[in-house]
Structure formats: structure tokens, C-alpha cells
Chains A and B, each alone.
Chain A
Amino acid sequence: MIVVAGLRKSLRTGGATVEILKGIDFRVGRGEFVAIMGASGSGKSTLLGLLAGLDDPTAGTVALNGTVISNMPEDRLAQLRGRTIGFVFQSYQLIPTLTALENVLLPYELNEDAGEQKAGLERARQLLQSVGLGARMDHYPVQLSGGEQQRVALARAFILRPPIVLADEPTGNLDTVNGQHILELLLHLNHVEGTTLVLVTHDPALAQHAGRRITLRDGLVVGDEVQAGGVRVDG
């Protein structure tokens, strides 16, 4: 499903070059739930970004379903991303000018072979119902609380039934109650939709729910363990 090989990423800031990822290798199988952990600055968000093809690696490759996405042309990558990946950001990243329903529908509209709008609309409504926002579909992001916005973002991530969902600190901006709720929704959707889920967090409590935990320190994988109840797939 996801194959990461020899992945390196350096950034030039000011005059200096900072190596954020120093050679990372791992595989994630279909349906797995992986938590990537590490302290602030360990490179976990950069890793997630590279998995989603949001940037090009300095060296090494990322392959999704056998397709190497590293250094792929921008627009092809975008289309591939639209079909394959659902992304959940820490700070929700809803389009402020669109309603909750329109935000959820957006990936559907951006993806040309997604199907008829009517079907998409039906699914968007259904997803919003399932995250408990059936009554707030026509609200704009500013009219929603942080937790509600993140629930819209979750619905958006799942609308195209992507095989992979990547989440970057999805509960980081939320209080415990809302954070818990989002996590439950995420696990529920992961379960129902059968997606592969890669979640970046620095919260051990959150990581406990994952079947596998990869730990990063200073740009290197320092731990990769299967947790009780989790599934490890090789190949």
C-alpha cells in the first residue's frame, strides 16, 4: 500500500541546510492503522507531507499502491492525491467561503471521474449526518466551533472513499472531549470504510489506539512496534 524507501529531506533555511529526514524505510499494509510519533521537530509532519506528495523528497521514494509518487508532475500528483488520499489537518483548513456541505463536496467536484454530482451530494449529506452535523450543513466555517470544523474536515477526507487517510495531529487544536469525539469518528470511519490510516501525533494516549507505532527522533525511525490488537502486514 505505502512503501517508503531511503527517504531523505533537507531544507535550506537562511544560509544553512537542515536535514529533517535522514533516511527512512517502512511499509504500511492495506487497512493498517499506523501512528507516527515523535517530539516536536522530529520530522513527523514532514514525513506525512511526503507520504501525501505535498512536497518532493531530497532523496528516496514514496510509492502508493505501487506507483512512485516522488517527483511526479504537479498536476498528475494532485489528481492521484484526490483519488487515493484523504487528508486531515491539525487546523482543519476548510475553505471559509464555502458552506459545510460544499466543503465536504469539494473533493468530489475537483475530481473529474468521481461520478455524478447527485451521488456525491447524497454521500456528503450522509457523511455529515454520520459526524453529527446533519443540522449544520449550510453553515459557513466561521459559524462552526473548532470541533465541528474538524468533523467537517473528517467528512471531507472520506467523501471519495480514499484507500488511504492521512491525519496530521487531528485533535491537536481541540479540547479533550472534542478530541476524543474526533478520534472515535476517525476510527469508526476507518473501520466502516476499510481505509489505511496514518496518523501523526505526539500524544501517546492517541497513539495507543493504533495497531502499529512508528517513532521518529532526529529524522530517523527509532522504533516500529506492533501494539496489542493491531495488525502488522508485511508486503
Chain B
Amino acid sequence: MAGLSYGTAGRIAVRELHSSRGKFAFVVLSVAIGVAALTGVRGFSSAFRRTLLLRARSIMAADVSARTNMPPTPEQEKGIAALEAAGNDESPVTELLSMASSARSMDPLLVSVKAVDPAKYPFYGTVVLEPKMPLDKALTDDSVAVGDDLLLRLHLHVGDAIKLGTEQFRIAAAVLDEPDRLSGSFAAGPRVLISQKALEGTGLVAPGSRVSRRYLFRLPRAKKGRALSDAAVAELKARLETLLPEAQVADYREANPALTKALDGATGLLSLMSLVALVLGAVGVAMAMRAHLQQRLDSIAIMKSLGAGSGQVMKIYLLQTLLLGLSGGVLGVVLGMGVQMAFPLFLAKLLHLTPRFALDVHAIGLGLTAGMLTTLLFTLPPLLDVRNVRPILILRRNVDAADDPFGARLMRKLKGSGAQIGASALIVVGLVALATRVSDSRRVGWTFAVGLVVVLLVLLAMAAVTLWGLRRFLKGTGLRLPSTLRHGLANLYRPGNPSAALLAALGLGVMQIAAVYMVQRSIVSEMRGATAENLPNIFLIDMSTDEVGGVRKLLATQPTVKGTPEILPVVSARLVAVNGVPFADLKLKHVGRFAQSLNLTWPPVTDAPPPGDSVVEGRWWTAKEAAGAAQRPLVAIERERAARLKVKPGDRITMSAQDEDFTATVAAVYEADSRHAFSRAEFILPQTVLAGMPVVWYGGVHCDPAATAGLRRVLYEHFPTVTVIDVAATLEVIRQVLLQVTYVIQFLAAFSIFAGMVILASAIAGTRYRRIREVVVLKTLGATRARIAAIFSVEFAVLGLIAGAVGLVFANVLARYLLVHVMHFAYGFQAGANVAAWAAVAGLTVAAGWMASHRVLGQKPLEVLREE
């Protein structure tokens, strides 16, 4: 036979596809679902992430902010101007404490002034004013906006006048909410919002006055349809850190640690799910193609006996594979776009936000390529097997080496399969490329692909060992087992039955599905914790020791207050030396003059960290050590602060409070949760050390977000000098965002899991063609359908149980690794969930087997026999 033309090969390929449409529907479906999940999940999650990050930015009102207490040098001003020239938007925020007075009130009041450029501020989010008006209408040269607590205290109304420094201003509006309330300074006194220009006129900012400045930056808009790259944000942050060494530079991802962690976790999980979808699709294809080629052995043998070379035969099946991959890819992309459009519809009610749907050529291209490539890659090994088909097969159907032990088969395969090994290497490289492309990280790509191959090999080995053990058992028990059970078990060794491969595929699928579920569950439960309703959303500042008892009592009687208020004492101190080295001689980076001032506190319970804090290094002191701390002072330091000062447990810190020096040994370094009131103090000492020092008290309390105004009023009526800061609105934003993330994660995880189950079910269904002949024989011999179904159930249940066990073991290993080492979440083994999952896998495998065998069971024996 001269070279088989592509035309002829194509014709044969198409006819074969046409003649077994039903079977290939499963292959196309597997690819399509994989690709759909890939494009749908990826497209939706990137759109969602864009929308979500926009909200995260609103917490900072900017992409990057730099906060400093030092006035900028001319050089720094030039540097900031250069950053602006480079396309970044910049807007300064100045914060200071001042006194405000009015004609109606005798006493001036300490206020916290915040000056902004109303034309630019805020870059993200909005300032809510009452009456509603744009910020630049409220903040003019002669008008300001003030907190409603100021109106209350000074007995003023909107429209009245207020005096700041040397100037009189009209109160244009009351400030109800500022987006960056959590990022600004938590100073005492009600808010006065003023324009930068008006502030200059007041004469309040004089050289030497204690002013804190924040430079807000917004990066140039990213190209249409693409997310702002994290690299650009990081680059701007780095430049600012060099330009303003004394400043605290933060980007929007650091605005709220819980939010950042949730977003990172969600992003990681989402790309993991995309990859899972991809591989599950590939597994489905590989299983189906293997089954198909097994069935085609006769035609292949006939072609070979007519003189066709392996290359020519492979050409036919290669074309077939490409056609299948292409149709699956196209269908998948269409499905994926449908999914992407449908998700927001489902979620609109829950999310109150609609990611814009964009026809992403990129995603479509990726989907198509992924479909074709995975199909091709995973069918390569069975395709190469075509070379080993001998024409003798036409004469003796049962020439089959499947009876050999796995080891011997493996050795024989290894010997004669340089090409297969090459193909496998190609698969790994292709997987790396795809995973890298999907996860946008080469490291993730490699880890994923290599990990997958290792897991697959281990799964194959474990499956083979289990099957071998089962066979030994079967031989040992012989005819003593009930015949249905014996027959069902024996079916696992049906010649050509890819039990080991099916087990590995199922195991892999179970592993990935279960891992997605576990990771999802862990992230969601942690986020639920972060959105817990009793976190402080009202902060109390500057309470005196005389007042604090009364405040506690008052709070206890308020029905809108939930949980126990967190109230902490703060002793102001100065850092004198570390390990005997005076502060001035400590060569520390990014530590300004103000790093020398310290907030000290003692914990509410002597021998345990305060709420929200957890020890990361060293250990907390015992009650006994605390009692003896007056002689041997101990201190626990917040992790970031410790890192900046380069101290670790065992180091000695010399502090000065009220001009009295004392040296404490660092006992522990702790991680603080900024959502708790105790995060306001970064140095914790036993109470005995701080006894007798002047103390002001701070507090955090959770109030029903809808009733904060009432609580503020009550507090003001009883304790007019205590500053109350209300961050309920901002925290509500964060809570909402976190809840949205949990919904989306759960939704997408459920979708991925569903897609995975469909693919696995179709892989199981792919084995049904092997059963037809057997069903016919059994029926001819007098078996009822129930009997045959029972035999198959045993076979499927065993497959499901083995695959489930192996898959779940690996899922736990994988989930633990991902959660603990990659995403920094907690992992806990859940026995109940694992057992339930195990039973579910077995049950679903049996159900899928039944569904797949249903038609086969109903077929008339003669229909099948006639085809022979």
C-alpha cells in the first residue's frame, strides 16, 4: 500500500467516528466539560477577582499608600512628582489633631482633622455625606464636612459655622462614612474633613507640628479586559519604600489581612480547580480512547494484514483524536461561555455585584488549545500501542497478554516502548506548559505536572498491588465465595479490562475532587470566622481609669452590643535600647523616629495571650512567671514589630515609661489580629510590670451595624470625653466581600466537583462496551437482569472502594500540603467527612456503572450476536 493519503485516512476516521457516535459522545463530553470548566471557572473567577479587588482597594481608597509623620524633603517631593509624571495618580491626605470651637459651645473640642484633595480623593470607594452631595461641593475654601459626633458635642447643625485655627468654616455636611477609615490614624476626637487648600489657610500645619501624611496612589489603568498586574503594584510599592524610607508603605492587598488572605486563598483554589477540570477531562479522554482502540483491534489487524504500516494506521486514529479534541474543545468553549454568563445570574442575588462578561479571545484560544492538547497528549500512549497490534488477531481473538502479572507486563512494555516513554515525557512537558499557562506561574506548573505524574504512578502501582492481592484472595477462597461476589470480583480481571488504569483514573479523580472540597471547606470556614459577627466595629479611645468601669457597665446594659467588649489599658513608653544597644545606634531599615514610641499593655488573663493574638515564637508566661515579673520583667512583641526591631525570644528590651527605665526579656513573639482591639498595643507585659504607671484605656466592642449611631449617642451622653470611632460600615464592606468570596468559592467548587463526577462517570461508562458480550452469554445461560446487575455492582463497588480509599488518602495529603504550606490555612482531618466521601464514591461508582449498563442489560442477545 502506498502512503495512505490524509484524505483517505480522514475519510476512514470520520466513518468510524460516525459509526460509533454514542461512544464518542462521551469522549467529546469529557473534553467539553473539562474545557468548559477551564474557560468558565477561569473566566468567571478572573472577572470576579477584578470586581472584588476593586472593593478591596476602596478600603485603602488607593492602590498603594505611603504613610509618614515626616514632612517631605524637596528631593522626596521631586520623587513623588516623577511618579506622577510616570502616569500614576497621586493624592495626599494630611491628618492632624486640632481644636475646634463654635459660637454655641463654650469649650473647644479636640478634633481629628483630615485634609484631602476633593477633586481626586478617594481613588476607590466613596465618602458618604448627609445631606447627599459630591465631596468637592462639601469641601470648598470656606466649608468643611464633620462627623455627626462633632455636631452632637458642639450642639451644631449642618449649615452652622465652626472655627479651626484662625479660620471660620461653614459645615456643609455630616460625614457618615469614609472608605479608608480603617487605614487612617485612629486619633482621638471627632472627624473634620477639609480640603488641602483650606487647611493651608488655617495655619494649623506649621513646621514641627505633629502631622501625619498619607500619599495615595492609583496606578495607570490596565489595558482593557486585563487585571491590574500584581507586579506593577509591587514595583510602585518598592519605589516608594526607597523614596520614603521612613514611611509605612502598603498596597491594597494589605489593607485588610483577612481579606487579602481570603483573596489569595480563593485565587489559588480557583486556579487549582481549573487545572483539576483540565486533568479530569484528559483522564476521561484517555479512558475512552483506550477502550475505543481496544475495540478497533480487529479493524487494525485487518488493515495491517492488508499491508498497512503502523504509521498509516496511526494516521487514521491521530486524525480521529484531533477531530474529537477539536469538537470537544469547541463545544467546551461554548459551554464555558454559557457557564460564564450563567454564573452571575445565579449569584446576582447573593453577591449584589455582577462581573462584566467579556468575550475573551484569550480564554477561548486557551480552551481550544487545552482541549486539543490534552486529548492528544493523553491518547498518545494508547495510540502508540497500535504499533504492537499483530494481524494474527483476526484469526485468534483471544490473543491477549492481559493475564500476565502486572510486573511482567510492565517490563515487557518498558522494553519495547521507547516511543511510549518519549510520549509520556511529552505529556509531562505539555502538562507543565498548560498548567503554567493556566496558573500564570511556572513554579505552580512544574509542581502540578510533576506531582500529578508521581501521584499517577503511585496510584497505578497501588491499584496493581491491590488487584494482585485481591486475585490471590480469590484464588485462595476458590468456590467458597457466593457466586455473584466471586464473579463480580473476577470481572476485575476481564482481559482488556483496564482495571488498574480505571482505578488510577478514578483514584486521581477522587483525589482531586476531594482535595478541592477540603481546601474549599477550610478556606470557607476560616473566612466565616473572619466574618464572625462579634468582631469589634466600634472603637473607644482615651478612656481614663476612672471612666473605664462605668463604660463597661454601660456597655453591658446596651442591647445592641454583642459579645464581650475588649477593653485594654495602654501605657505610653519609649524604646531605649535593644540588648543594651541604644536606639540611636540600632541600624534598622524603614524605622522612623516614631518607632521609638511604644504602646504597652497587659493581657486580660494573666497566663494567656489577649483575644485575637497567637504566639508564633517562644511561649507565653505562666501565672507564676507573671507574678514574679516585677523582679524579672517579661515582654511579648507583635510579630511585625519584632521583625522590624530584629528581636527574638530571649533578647532584652529596655523601655522607659515616666522617665523610669526598665529592661524586659522577650518571652514570645505573637501574631496580632488587627480586627481586635488588642492589636492597638504591640508590646504586652504582665500587669505586675506596669503597675503604678499612668494608663489610658482603649476599647473595642461589637454593635449591631444598623444601631451604631444610637450607641455613639449614649456613650457621648455619659462619657463626653471618650472618642468613639465607628468602623461598622467599613467592616460591613469587608464582611460582605468575604461572604461573597465564600459563596463564589463554594459555587465554583461545586461546579468543578460536578464536572469531575460527570467525567468520571463517563469514564466508567466507557467500559460498558466490554460488557455487552458478557451480558449476552449470561442471559443465554439463564441469568436474569437482576443477577447480572448484582454481579456488575460487586465489580463497581470494589472499584469504587479501592479508588475511593486511595484517592482520599492522597486528597488529604494534597489538601494538607496546599493549605498549610502554600495557602497558610489550617488543615484538620475530618474522619466523618472522609468516611462519607468514601461511601459516596463507592455508591456513585455503582450508580454510574448501572446507568452505563442499563441499555446493555436491556438489549436482546441476538442483536449483539448478529454483529459478530
Does B866 lie within 8 Å of A45, measured CB to CB? yes
Binds A, one of B335-343, B448-456, B487-495, B530-538: B487-495
Give Cα distance in the complex from A52 to B787, angstroms: 19
Which of B397, B495, B778, B862 meets A49, CB within 8 Å?
A: B862
User: Given A55-B861, A109-B483, A79 and B495 touching (CB < 8 A)?
Assistant: no
Hey, which chain B residues are within 8 Å of A94, CB to CB? 777
Q: Quick one: which of B758-788 are within 8 Å of A by CB?
A: 773-774, 776-787
Per the bound structure, the CA–CA distance linking A141 and B787 in Å amounts to 23
Asked whether any CB of chain A lies closer than 8 Å to the CB of B75, the reply is no
Interface residue A39 (Cβ < 8 Å from any Cβ of B): no
Q: A81-B782, A109-B483 are in contact. Are A140 and B403 (CB under 8 A)?
A: yes
A98 to B483 CA separation, bound complex (whole angstroms): 11
Give Cα A75 to B483, complex, Å: 19
Within 8 A of A (CB), among B475-497: 479, 483, 486-487, 490-495
- What are 15 A-B contacts defined by CB distance under 8 Å? A49-B862, A54-B780, A55-B860, A74-B858, A78-B779, A78-B783, A82-B783, A87-B781, A93-B780, A94-B777, A95-B777, A102-B486, A106-B487, A117-B479, A142-B398
Q: Output the nearest chain A residue to B864 by Cβ-Cβ distance.
A: A54
A56 part of interface (Cβ distance < 8 Å): yes
Chain B residues, Cβ within 8 Å of A102: 479, 486, 490
Q: Does A62 contact B (CB under 8 A)?
A: no
Report A-chain residues with C-beta under 8 Å of the C-beta of B230. none
Q: List 10 extra interface pairs beyond A56-B860, A89-B865, A97-B495, CB under 8 A.
A: A55-B860, A93-B773, A95-B490, A95-B777, A96-B494, A101-B479, A102-B486, A107-B782, A110-B782, A156-B781
Is A74 a contact of B785 with CB atoms below 8 Å? yes
B494 touches A46 (CB 8 A): no
**Which residues of chain A have C-beta atoms less than 8 A from B865's C-beta?**
45, 49, 54, 89
Q: Which residues of A contact B660 (CB under 8 A)?
A: none
Considering only residues 52-85 of chain A, those with a C-beta below 8 Å from chain B are 52, 54-56, 74-75, 78-79, 81-83
Given contacts A81-B780, A109-B483, contact A75 B785 (CB under 8 A): yes
Q: Determine the distance from Cα of A74 to Cα of B860 in the docked complex, in whole angstroms.
A: 9
How many whole Å from A139's CB to the nearest CB in chain B?
A: 11
Q: Give Cα A20–Cα B411 distance, bound, in whole angstroms.
A: 51
| Cβ contacts under 8 Å, A49 to chain B | 861-862, 865-866
Assuming A55-B863, A140-B403, is B494 touching A78 (CB within 8 A)?
Answer: no
One of B490, B776, B779 near A98 (C-beta < 8 A) = B490
Known contacts A79-B784, A96-B494, A110 near B861 by CB under 8 Å: no
Are B774 and A95 in contact (CB-based, < 8 A)?
yes
* Contact B862–A110 (Cβ < 8 Å): no
**Chain B residues within 8 Å of A95, by CB:** 487, 490, 774, 777-778
Mark A residues whose CB is within 8 Å of B: 45-46, 49-50, 52, 54-56, 74-75, 78-79, 81-83, 87, 89, 91, 93-98, 101-102, 105-107, 109-111, 117, 121, 140-143, 146, 156, 160
The distance from the CB of A78 to the nearest CB of chain B, in whole angstroms, is: 5
The CA-CA distance from A21 to B787 in the complex, in Å, is 32
- Smallest CB separation, A233 vs chain B (Å): 26
- Nearest 9 Cβ contacts at the A-B interface: A82-B782, A55-B862, A49-B862, A109-B483, A97-B490, A54-B861, A54-B862, A75-B784, A55-B860
Q: CB-CB < 8 A to B479: which residues of A?
A: 101-102, 105, 117, 121
- The answer to whether A97 and B783 touch (CB under 8 A), given A49-B865, A54-B865, A140-B403, is no
A47 to chain B, nearest CB (A): 10
Q: How far is the CA of A99 from the CA of B479 in the complex (A)?
A: 11
- Shortest Cβ distance from A93 into B: residue: B777
Q: Which residues of B contact A107 (CB under 8 A)?
A: 781-782
Q: When the two chains form their complex, are residues A111 and B782 in contact, meaning their CB atoms are under 8 A apart?
A: yes
Whether the Cβ atoms of B868 and A91 lie closer than 8 Å is yes
Beta-carbon contact of B786 and A52 below 8 Å: no
Whether, in the assembled complex, B400 has its beta carbon less than 8 Å from a beta carbon of chain A, the answer is yes
Enumerate B343-401 residues with CB–CB distance to A below 8 Å. Answer: 396-398, 400
Task: Determine if B780 and A79 form an interchain contact, defined as CB atoms under 8 angstroms apart.
Answer: no
CB distance from A158 to the nearest CB of B (A): 12
Given contacts A46-B866, A52-B780, A95-B777, contact A75 B786 (CB under 8 A): yes
- Chain A residue at smallest Cβ distance from B474: A97
Contact flags B392-424 to A (C-beta < 8 A → 1, else 0): 000011101001000000000000000000000
* B861 closest partner in A (C-beta): A54
Beta-carbon contact of B782 and A96 below 8 Å: no
Query: A79 contacts B782, CB within 8 Å?
Result: yes
Q: Note all chain B residues with C-beta closer than 8 A to A98.
A: 487, 490
Question: Which residue from chain B places its CB closest to the CB of A56 in the assembled complex?
Answer: B860
Within 8 A of A (CB), among B771-822: 773-774, 776-787
- Chain A residues with CB under 8 Å of B783's CB are 78, 82, 110
- Whether the Cβ atoms of A78 and B398 lie closer than 8 Å is no
| Residues in B neighbouring A97, C-beta threshold 8 A | 487, 490-495
CA distance A79 to B783 in the complex (A): 7
Instruction: For residue A16, give the distance in angstroms from its CB to the closest CB of chain B.
Output: 16
B485-527 CB mask vs A (1 if < 8 Å, else 0) is 0110011111100000000000000000000000000000000
- Nearest to A20 among chain B residues (CB) is B866
In the assembled complex, which residues on chain A have CB atoms less than 8 Å from the CB atom of B493? 97
A169 to chain B, nearest CB (A): 11
When C-beta atoms are compared, the residue in chain B nearest to A74 turns out to be B785
Find the A residue at minimum CB distance from B774: A95
Q: Contact: B784 with A78, CB < 8 Å?
A: yes
Question: Which of B491, B773, B774, B780 is the one whose CB lies under 8 Å from A87?
Answer: B780
User: Which residues of B are found within 8 Å of A96, using beta-carbon distances?
Assistant: 398, 494-495
